């Protein structure tokens, strides 16, 4: 045991939690969740991630790190016309699809066959509105927002992983010291709130299926790639199945889908965590411990975000998704032969188009695949 193991685990947990919590809260707000439901969702998903990471790391003796689906949270946050009950129903359907994917390998292969350019175009269309909204916060409070934007781009030159967290903490401190918030809420322990799900065709096609697809394409497949790059070769089925099962159990409490981590995993799987790859699995239990702490105090953390200026929350959410947006656009436009299909998926998704109660993410994917099919037909 080296000190680098718990340090790497705690840094990964803090970066993953603090850097994207604003996106999860934005997702809850978009479906009309109460503060109690939002806190319950954060608590439940933290508990799920703690169990997944602790169990899978111990069982496989590999650093199997889980995370919530940040692109999935962005998808929910960008949606409209859905209630919290609809969202919980969609979370359950997405979790069932993940469990099925873990049990039946052909499903994993089928998802992996979706062209990365089109899937990334859809993802970019989901994320771009957050970057645009972040820029729009400047006129609302330039003296707070502009220094934070400058700090973000300076800090990311030296430590990209901590840049968003620095903006959240620094912005919160600046807002408090300058009187932009009246005071901090009293500490409270988290509780779980059960939300009865509602199932509909619109929520299934417009929310659950896109959530499943972005979770698989941009999270689970990326997480597996990070593990393989570090020299680990786990069987993908059980990992996806376990995260799907825990997502299914936590969904009724408002929890978003959980999945294999990519950025957080990179912190725990490299030589900085431990020079011996066989010892790096020990980061898993420490990472799980950190998320148990987050679960206990999830209600307090959500309450703190609730009193921060709205401009700051929108800014943090946008900055947190800048790197995923840049990566999505890079992949979408990387293959010149599929560039038009990817751009179509991006444009339709970013438009916010809703038809027959089905959201834009689904139609963006359909449009991109249709253009790709037409191109293939022409070449024949």
**Tens-digit pLDDT profile for residues 96-137:** 999 999 888 777 777 767 788 888 888 788 788 888 988 999
Which regions of the chain are under pLDDT 50?
Answer: none
**Could you give the CA distance from residue 242 to residue 284 in angstroms, rounded to a whole number?**
15
Q: Residue 357 has what pLDDT?
A: 62
**Could you give the CA distance from residue 71 to residue 67 in angstroms, rounded to a whole number?**
11
**Could you give the CA distance from residue 307 to residue 176 in angstroms, rounded to a whole number?**
10
Q: Residue 352 has what pLDDT?
A: 80
**Could you give the CA distance from residue 119 to residue 367 in angstroms, rounded to a whole number?**
11
Q: Residue 213 has what pLDDT?
A: 86
- The alpha carbons of the chain give a radius of gyration, in whole angstroms, of 20
Q: Residue 303 has what pLDDT?
A: 83
Q: Residue 311 has what pLDDT?
A: 86
Q: Residue 258 has what pLDDT?
A: 93
Q: Residue 53 has what pLDDT?
A: 95
Q: Residue 106 has what pLDDT?
A: 79
**Could you give the CA distance from residue 334 to residue 109 in angstroms, rounded to a whole number?**
22
Q: Residue 264 has what pLDDT?
A: 78
Q: Residue 358 has what pLDDT?
A: 64
Q: Residue 98 has what pLDDT?
A: 94
Q: Residue 337 has what pLDDT?
A: 86
CB 358 within 8 A of CB 206: yes
């Amino acid at each position: 045991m080296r000190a680098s193991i718990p340090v790497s685990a705690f840094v990964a947990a803090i970066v993953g939690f603090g850097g994207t919590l604003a996106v999860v809260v934005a997702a809850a707000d978009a479906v009309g969740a109460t503060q109690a439901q939002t806190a319950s969702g954060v608590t439940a998903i933290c508990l799920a991630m703690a169990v997944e990471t602790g169990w899978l790391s111990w069982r496989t003796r590999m650093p199997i790190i889980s995370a919530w689906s940040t692109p999935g949270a962005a998808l929910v946050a960008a949606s409209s016309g859905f209630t919290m009950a609809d969202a919980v129903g969609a979370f359950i359907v997405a979790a069932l699809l993940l469990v099925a994917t873990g049990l039946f390998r052909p499903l994993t292969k089928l998802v992996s066959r979706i062209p990365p350019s089109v899937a990334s175009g859809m993802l970019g269309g989901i994320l771009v509105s957050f970057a645009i909204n972040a820029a729009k916060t400047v006129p609302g409070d330039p003296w707070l927002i502009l220094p934070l934007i400058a700090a973000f781009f300076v800090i990311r030159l030296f430590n990209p992983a901590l840049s968003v967290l620095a903006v959240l903490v620094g912005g919160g401190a600046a807002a408090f010291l300058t009187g932009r918030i009246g005071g901090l809420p009293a500490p409270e322990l988290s509780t779980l709130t059960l939300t009865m799900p509602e199932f509909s065709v619109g929520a299934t096609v417009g929310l659950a299926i896109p959530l499943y697809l972005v979770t698989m394409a941009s999270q689970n497949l990326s997480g597996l790639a990070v593990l393989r790059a570090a020299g680990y070769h786990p069987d993908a089925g059980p990992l996806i199945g376990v995260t799907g099962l825990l997502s299914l159990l936590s969904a009724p409490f408002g929890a978003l889908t959980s999945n294999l981590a990519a950025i957080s995993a990179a912190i725990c799987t490299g030589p900085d965590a431990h020079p011996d790859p066989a010892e790096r699995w020990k980061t898993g239990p420490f990472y799980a411990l950190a998320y148990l702490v987050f679960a206990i105090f999830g209600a307090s953390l959500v309450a703190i975000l609730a009193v921060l200026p709205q401009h700051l929350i929108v800014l943090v959410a946008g900055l947190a998704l800048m790197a995923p947006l840049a990566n999505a656009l890079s992949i979408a436009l990387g293959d010149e032969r599929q560039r038009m299909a990817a751009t179509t998926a991006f444009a339709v998704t970013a438009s916010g188009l809703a038809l027959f109660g089905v959201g834009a993410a689904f139609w963006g994917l359909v449009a991109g695949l249709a253009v790709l099919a037409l191109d293939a037909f022409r070449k024949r």
